Structure 1
Amino acid sequence: MTATLPVPSTTGDLAPSAPLRAAAATDGRLPLPGARGPLSAALLEVLTSARDGSAPLVRELPELARAAAAGDVVRDEDVQLSLALLYELHYRGLRGVDDSWEWDTGLLGVRATLETAFEAAIRELVEVPDVAPEDVAETLFTMAAEDDGPPLSRYLCRNATLEQFREFLVHRSAYHLKEADPHTWAIPRLGGVPKAALVEVQADEYGGGRPERMHAALFARTMRAAGLDDSYGAHLDRIPATTLAGTNAMSMFGLNRRLVGAIVGHLAVFEMTSSIPNRLYGNGMRRLGFDRDATWFFDEHVEADAVHEQIAGRDLAGGLAVQQPERAGDVLFGAAACLALDAVAGRHLLDSWEAGRSSLRGVAARTGNVA
């Protein structure tokens, strides 16, 4: 293990808290974060009130949502936190929030307002190839091969400091501590070959029935090795909109049946572009002195995703495009969105480090220049 590695004092408040870990173990819900603007402040007030319409801000939420949705929603902290909170109602829930809020029609309306703007912003961000349904699988492999996003994995492999790597893990915790869950929403919406392919991929993601091998559990193990709090949602206050946008897009695609093609395409290209970066991430941790136990998560993905990319690209995504040709465009849209939003998030990390600042919210430490 890596207990002898120094934990940087500048981000020491990211380390595990015994009371927090104990609460998370028994609760499992996302702890409520601080607000990032008028919409998330009002939303948090509503969520923590009785669901009887008496909260004074209930009637103001739609207007606040419309105002927030008028800006750069991909990078807007208020919008992305609000979406994350609304989506979490469909996952493990929010600590101290009544589960009955999950299907509240007012909140669903607010979510729809934000989703309309968010989906439009993503569609403006990407270019979707126009190909025949039978060519979707090969097009996905071409998109993955031609992707030249920010060289984040190479930087982490060769140059990142321990502090920067810990920041990277905090960013990734937004998704990896719930890994596979957004894509699993698609299972009941598929049939035949695509459904069987998705179940095969997801079974591996969930450890093949062995909880200690679930990918979320392996990532938590990596976080502990790096001296980080691995409890669910512990770092939400520090994770910026550019990272939340990627996870929120998965939730939006997965929770809206009309976008089932997008979540399928997202998963396909996610698997296709995973093996090489994960090998570099693992090598970066080894360079910093971490052992095999700490790098297990990344090493597991090198092998698993090399297999998954064929299943997800051909049987799942390609199979769905042929089975339901009207969804072919959305399959490619989901793939393009995955690549674009990952590039936005990766660019934020590299730009922050190049400027000598933390990539996390509320952390002012210098982290050195990007070579």
Structure 2
Amino acid sequence: MIAAAGVKCAVDMRNDEQSRAQTVDTDFRRGSRMGSRRQGTIAQVLTVGMAYRDIVITGMRAMPRLGEETYGDALHETWGGIGNMTRVCRSLGMSTALATAVGDDDASERLLRDMAALGVDTSLTNRHSGWQLPVTVALSLPEDRAMVTVETPPPSGIAAHLDDAEFHADAIIVDMRDPAMQWLAEARAGGSRVYASRGFDPSGEWGRAALAEVDACDAWMLNDVEARAFTGEDDIASAARALTAHVPLVVVTRGARGMFGLDTATGEEAEVDAFPVTPRTTTGAGDSTLAAFVYASAIPGLPLRERLDVAAFIAASILERPGGAATPPTHGQLVARSGDSTNPRLQRIHEILAATVPA
């Protein structure tokens, strides 16, 4: 566990991200290249959604009460929201493109520079004059986190401009809080596999209207609280089955209790335990898990259980790092970490990761 020792000065993550870019593998293959690559493909994975300037305080022992001052041991600046998924996919060696909204403020410029330093294609990102990137302050404890966000929606949305863009990505990660548009239906019809996040429903309604856009996706990952709220089912397996009326593949994350997945296209049902870990920060944990699952799903021939296992291992490896999703491990680091064990479960994960080598 981290001892609280007072909040250090802010850490500008740009130098870390630029140095890490030199170690990121460009593409992976397992016998052959992961996923199909078509003419005109922009990337193996395209991430679409809102990016945030995240200010994350870690090493806290407890949340402050009203009027109270407490201490953490570090303060990190990074790019959250869709930025977490983008960074994790790129760190794992997948060619990655980002479609988000940026303004003309300093944070937007730094976001674009940092993504370019990582090798992320930002050609599908839309700039809005006079708009500023939203900011989230996150207070992170090992078991959970609390966040405060200052956000103004971009003037013309995040992804409307993609209706007029020509591109192909093997996989698309999209935040379904934004309405599904023509571009997404066309991308899916063209062979892109669409992975959705939907997140918390601030309206508190958790109704069918909130689920309507998920019908445009191939896979949906959500947490157990969301799964129960959307379906009214207390049992996670029953909730997942109800949600497959909207999307063929549903994965429900349950924190320290692992994950449950149901794929109606293959008939697979699987449940895996989480890997024991003492989290350094939980900010971005859900985003990291989805990105890890997309990576695992790009490895040919893996059954659902093994894809969940690989994703669970990557997520745990991210949680134990001081910067969490801000500094995800590279593929090589994951291979090394999984190889140092006599645990049969980890040995199998090591075999899978080690066979997925840089192109």
TM-score, length-scaled by structure 1: 0.29
TM-score, length-scaled by structure 2: 0.29
Greater fraction strand: 2
